[in-house]
Structure 1
Amino acid sequence: MLGIETSCDETGAGLVRDGVLLGEGLASSADEHARFGGVVPEVAARAHVSAVVPMVRAAVDAAGVSLSEVDAVAVTAGPGLSPALHVGVAAAKAYAAALDVPLYGVHHLAGHAAVDVLEHGPLPPRCVCLIVSGGHTSLLSLGDLAHDPVEHLGDTVDDAAGEAFDKVARLLGLPYPGGPSVSRAALDGDPAAVAFPRPMTGPRDAVFGFSFSGLKTAVARHVEAAQDAGRALPVADVAASFQMAVVDVLVRKALRACVERGADTLLMVGGVAANRVLRAEMERACADAGITLRVPAPRLCTDNGAMIAALGDLLVRGGVAPAGLATTAVPTVALSGAGVPVPPASGEAAEFPLPVTVAPGAGVPSGGAGAP
């Protein structure tokens, strides 16, 4: 299975056979976006055009196989940045047509969940999954990724955790991308120095919902107060306190979801899952609660082609029919299952065989139009 990922600023390709990662290639255009303080879709798309073929070649070479041995192709069809997604989908169609093999359009976030299979083997029949990334923060109940619908327990109502890290980094004068910058600055800080709020943890809030916009605003006010008073801003303390506020919320809600659902396994995935403090705190909390924590290696948490190949591999082994060359990019598709439904032609009724299931009181799944 050849997997291609181009939803944001990473161009990834991976080769997987029967749950084993054979080879991968990954390029990033993050440096090109740094001066803008965020990803510019057209810049990302041009970078993908230049990198997608070399990354596929890199994956094939690393695997020690030939391109002619590829049996199927999977590609991120959504969600993500529209210009970036279209590059990957076009490339995947070209490879599938040239090799005369099936093509699967898959959901980016389902790929994040599937990548853990490459390290820790098959997922249990049912588990709670925390997806925490630049554009998404969600608590999900997962079954068989290839066949079962995804149940949304709760989603973010505004800023995702990764987005909040980027915005706080800007407030503190730290470079983009914000997650690694804030994490590095926090190493020398006191996580208890500033009593930042823990959003969406009140008695009237959605139990499994998330919101990080207010936390970002609290950091902004703290920075402004220091500036107005002419005080030097303790960047390390602010960074550490903000980071701990985010981590505390994520750990608290994820553990509660496991307890209330009777799940003995928590899967944590997405770019923010590479954060060392989050990993350590979640590991400690899960150990205390007797819950098995599954987290991919940091390099597999961020966007990559291996995760898309892993998901495509699960679909093939599960006997799921491919979408074929009808596959198209759907930038704002909600997470309902592993595949991305092909939009109907004009006048046809839409078919969504894996509808979103929302837990009572959880609210509407965000889906997310932002960059994963």
Structure 2
Amino acid sequence: MNTNPPIYILAIESSCDDTGVAVMHNDRVLSNVVAKQDIHEQYGGVIPELASRAHQSNIVPTVEVALQKAGISKHQLSAIAFTQGPGLMGSLLVGSSFAKSMAMALDLPLIAVHHMHAHILAHFIEEGQEKPTFPFLGITISGGHTQIIKVHSHDKMELLGETTDDAIGEAYDKTAKLLGFPYPGGPFIDQYAKEGNPKAYTFTKPKVEAMDFSFSGLKTQIMYFLQKNSKGNPNFIKENLADICASIQHTIVSILMDKISAAVAHTGIQSIVIGGGVSANSGIRKALYDREKTHQWKVFIPKFEYTTDNAAMIGIVGYFKYLNHQFADLTTVAFPRISV
């Protein structure tokens, strides 16, 4: 019989433009609330100053809703976990300052969490699913990050490769803007790609050594391609939208699969765990599942609710750190850039 007292962790995620608050009971999610910021859509991207101001407005009510949905009071909490970085500095400061204040007021331990670790370890949230076994390859694909990480344990990770310029999500969104889609445009490319021919147009894949990525050159190549063809036919994009999207997606997915294959060959590890907002992309999911059949990879893809920024993934890392007594103190600061 387990006589250990339950662990309740309040987790706060504020790395970019979503204010996330979750309550964990050990490794299970009791609530996972996200307050989104629609104001950025009119600007075609996240405006840091507006994001931090919105976090200030959202964080108190979001915490209240998360506690209510979890059915516990703040006095039952065991610790407060928060995103330390990487992310937008102003946004991180709102979350970290609130977490410190709440931990101090309630005399609770404070836990600092690496945002990218959380995307990978979200797979360990207990929902009755099969979980990865160590070591595995963690692939973080989001609007701000593209990394291949060798994950030795919950708290030991080794960076194998990363983007040298644009992240994969940034490449999707910037390309989508060229096609006239609103922000964020990546999901629109994914949607139209399902209806098009992925071999209709050919784009050259960038030559980058080892397991690193580069997407800025591809974005520029697509821009010139669209300009050239639209000059002769002003309706070129509209008339060929599905094929253009399918060809762009095919190229991006192919780049990603090439790099993962290189990492598998380098490490001998065939367990692939992806995380981050772009892991919701249907083309990437299909390509990974195809590799399970053809290359004997073991693929782990998160539920859609854990792909984008959310506090439950911060909470699961907070839980593991709590068990190991890996606590922060009130001098802990947020870092917009922080290594794996």
Equivalent-residue separation in structure 1 for 2:293 and 2:109 (angstroms): 42
Q: 1:255 aligns with which of 249, 258, 261?
A: 261
Equivalent-residue separation in structure 2 for 1:221 and 1:238 (angstroms): 13
2:21 aligned partner? 13
Equivalent-residue separation in structure 1 for 2:292 and 2:50 (angstroms): 41
Give CA deviations for 1:198-251 in whole Å, capped at 9, x if unaligned.
223xxxx31211001111111101110122212422222211111111111112
Q: 1:228 aligns with which of 211, 226, 231?
A: 231
Give CA deviations for 1:64-92 in whole Å, capped at 9, x if unaligned.
21121110111111111111110001111
Verify: 1:69 aligned to 2:76, yes or no: yes
Q: Are 1:189 and 1:236, in contact at CA under 8 Å, matched by a contact in 2?
A: yes
Q: 1:180 aligns with which of 165, 187, 199?
A: 187
Q: 1:110 aligns with which of 92, 114, 117?
A: 117
Verify: 1:4 aligned to 2:12, yes or no: yes
Q: Are 2:83 and 2:113, in contact at CA under 8 Å, matched by a contact in 1?
A: yes
Equivalent-residue separation in structure 2 for 1:264 and 1:230 (angstroms): 46
Give the secondary-structure state (helix, strand or coil) at the position aligned to 1:331.
coil
In structure 1, what residue type is equivalent to 2:232?
A
Equivalent-residue separation in structure 2 for 1:264 and 1:161 (angstroms): 22
Verify: 1:52 aligned to 2:52, yes or no: no
Q: Are 2:16 and 2:91, in contact at CA under 8 Å, matched by a contact in 1?
A: yes
1:307 aligned partner? 313
Equivalent-residue separation in structure 2 for 1:98 and 1:121 (angstroms): 38
Deviation at 1:176, TM superposition (A): 0.3
The 1:60/1:172 distance shift into structure 2, 3 A limit, reads same
Give CA deviations for 1:3-32 in whole Å, capped at 9, x if unaligned.
100110111011122211111111111x20
Give CA deviations for 1:262-309 in whole Å, capped at 9, x if unaligned.
213110111100111111111111332112111111120100010101
2:338 aligned partner? 333
Q: 2:161 aligns with which of 141, 145, 154?
A: 154
Equivalent-residue separation in structure 2 for 1:63 and 1:83 (angstroms): 28
2:4 aligned partner? none
Equivalent-residue separation in structure 2 for 1:53 and 1:191 (angstroms): 46
CA RMSD of aligned residues (A): 1.4
2:293 aligned partner? 287
Q: Are 2:81 and 2:315, in contact at CA under 8 Å, matched by a contact in 1?
A: yes
Verify: 1:321 aligned to 2:329, yes or no: no
2:143 aligned partner? 134
Deviation at 1:2, TM superposition (A): 1.1
2:209 aligned partner? 206
TM-score, normalised relative to structure 2? 0.92
Give the secondary-structure state (helix, strand or coil) at the position aligned to 1:142.
strand
Q: Are 2:132 and 2:300, in contact at CA under 8 Å, matched by a contact in 1?
A: no
Give CA deviations for 1:22-79 in whole Å, capped at 9, x if unaligned.
11111111x2011111100011111111111222222212222112111011111111
Q: Are 2:196 and 2:244, in contact at CA under 8 Å, matched by a contact in 1?
A: yes
Percent of residue pairs identical: 37
Q: Are 2:149 and 2:158, in contact at CA under 8 Å, matched by a contact in 1?
A: yes
2:91 aligned partner? 84
In structure 2, what residue type is equivalent to 1:213?
S
Give the secondary-structure state (helix, strand or coil) at the position aligned to 1:4.
strand
Q: Are 1:251 and 1:285, in contact at CA under 8 Å, matched by a contact in 2?
A: no
Equivalent-residue separation in structure 1 for 2:98 and 2:186 (angstroms): 30
Equivalent-residue separation in structure 1 for 2:69 and 2:152 (angstroms): 32
In structure 2, what residue type is equivalent to 1:144?
S
TM-score, normalised relative to structure 1? 0.85
Equivalent-residue separation in structure 2 for 1:276 and 1:127 (angstroms): 22
Give the secondary-structure state (helix, strand or coil) at the position aligned to 2:287.
helix
Give CA deviations for 1:146-204 in whole Å, capped at 9, x if unaligned.
3x2x211111001110001111011000010021122223232221111012223xxxx
1:296 aligned partner? 302
Unaligned runs of 5+ in 2: 1-8
Equivalent-residue separation in structure 1 for 2:182 and 2:70 (angstroms): 35
Deviation at 1:114, TM superposition (A): 1.4
In structure 1, what residue type is equivalent to 2:278?
V
Unaligned runs of 5+ in 1: 336-372
Question: Which shifted more, 165-174 or 278-287?
Answer: 278-287
Give the secondary-structure state (helix, strand or coil) at the position aligned to 1:260.
helix
Equivalent-residue separation in structure 2 for 1:178 and 1:320 (angstroms): 41
Verify: 1:125 aligned to 2:130, yes or no: no
Deviation at 1:123, TM superposition (A): 3.7
Equivalent-residue separation in structure 2 for 1:264 and 1:252 (angstroms): 14
> Number of aligned pairs?
327
Q: Are 1:103 and 1:323, in contact at CA under 8 Å, matched by a contact in 2?
A: yes
Deviation at 1:122, TM superposition (A): 5.1
In structure 2, what residue type is equivalent to 1:297?
K
